[in-house]
Amino acid sequence: MSSQEHPSVTNFRNYIRINTVQPNPDYASCTEFLRGQAEELGAACQVIECVPGKPNVIMTLVGDDPTLPSFLLNSHTDVVPVFPEHWKYDPFSAHKDGEGNIYGRGTQDMKSVGIQYLEALKRLKKDGHKFLRTIHLTFVPDEEVSGGNGMGRLVETKVFREMNVGLGLDEGYSSTDNKMLVFYGERSSKAVKIKCSGQPGHGSQFLPNTAGEKLRKIINTFLDYREQQQQKLRDNPRLSLGDVTTINLTSLEGGVQPNVVPSELYVGFDVRVPPSELDHFETMVAGWCKEAGHGVSYVFDEKALDSKEMTCAEDGKNPWWDAFSDACKKENIELEKGIFPAGTDSHYVRKLGIDVLGFSPMNNTPRLLHDHNEYLNEKVFLRGIDIYATIIPALANVKSF
């Protein structure tokens, strides 16, 4: 460690160096590291494996009134794969350049936030702060592969029910301007596979009712809707990506040999749907398939979870939101509210009727989650600790309502 490096930055870099990349994350080393963090914080710590080899690390600071609903700080420990040949530095070296940019997989998504929680709480405890509500920190596995074996299973346990969570904070992502983003809901992933059946035969003929004709209609309809949604986003500067439906063609299957017209062809789309559009989206797909002709059917990915639930983020209507918003104002943060465009562990918690806000205090920062050369500047990281040191007591001391 440099004699001039802030200890919190050193702690962050040490966390980045633990290789928790999918599909073979080193959860054992990560858990050992987090146990040490809990001891330093003076928090009770338990490790729950709902699925063998998938540890959920839970730290707890008991509040003055543990009967009140608790406050949850959630982060995930795994990170997405890397392609080292495209990186300036080893993605698990936590290299810091001369400008203070810390390179490493997970610097933005989302090991920074996990350490910011911890460092803010260490500071608050050192300064003698007391909390009305119990605070839980959860460090969960496998978020980057849908979270089903992590938070998805944890929320089903007696342990989680007894945590009595009233509000959770989870991840957001960086803002490229001076604002900071906060998310009160997220889009649903509605991956859909469509089967087109038709008349098979020799490729030398004008056969009627072929699978290919139906496939063309389906592809055109889906991509026309994609263009409509993209244009909607272009035309309205008040909208963000989370407010529209994205559609991308991701797979094509079928065919026997070049001179045979196949009886079946398949096309797959990745679709992300805002909560406000979810109820009628499947009806719309059913209509598109019917219009394409007889023998066209669809199936949605069973692993995908709908995310209809949203947290109220209107002033004066939700005490949790008011406390969060007021704390951000004290830190001179200009918030931009929205729907998270991808999926996080938040939807598992919101499905239980628990409020969750997605927030990662990173502004004026390139959005590099899942990208090559992911980095976070140490000044932005340290500023995030200051912000959580204001937000955490504001939320943990919300009086009963």
Check whether the bond before 180 is cis (ω within 30° of 0): no
Q: Return the minimum-mean-pLDDT range out of 66-70, 151-155, 216-220, 299-303.
A: 299-303
The answer on 89 and 68 residing in a single domain is yes
Which tens digits make up the pLDDT trace of 259-308?
Answer: 999 999 999 999 999 998 988 999 999 999 999 999 999 999 876 677 88
Give the total number of structural domains in the chain: 2
d(CA 265, CA 214): 9
Instruction: Work out whether the CA dihedral 217, 219, 220, 222 comes out positive or negative.
Output: positive
Structure-derived torsion over alpha carbons of residues 125, 159, 183, 223, reported in degrees to the nearest 10: 150
Whether 2 is covered by a domain: the verdict is no
pLDDT for the residue 400 = 79
Active site residue 65: no
**Boundary residue ending a domain (273, 300, 327):** 300
65: amino acid identity, one letter: D
Whether residues 78 and 172 fall in one domain: yes
pTM above 0.75, yes or no: yes
Domain boundary among 300, 328, 360: 300
What is the span of the domain harbouring residue 258?
Answer: 188-300
Q: Is the dihedral of CA 387, 388, 394, 400 positive or negative?
A: positive
What are 358's strand-pairing partners? 170, 183
CATH number of the domain within which 212 lies: 3.30.70.360
Same domain for 269 and 353?
no
- What is the structure's pLDDT at 401? 81
Is pLDDT larger for residue 301 or for residue 78? 78
Which one of 119, 143, 243, 378 is the catalytic residue? 143
**64 catalytic per annotation:** no
Among 250, 270, 300, where does a domain finish? 300
Q: Smallest Cα–Cα separation from 360: which of 340, 370, 372? A: 340
Structure-token pair, residue 169? 């904070």
- Look at residue 1 in the predicted model and tell me its pLDDT: 45
Q: Which two tokens stand for residue 298?
A: 């669809």
The verdict on 37 and 174 lying in the same domain is: yes
Inside any domain, residue 324: yes
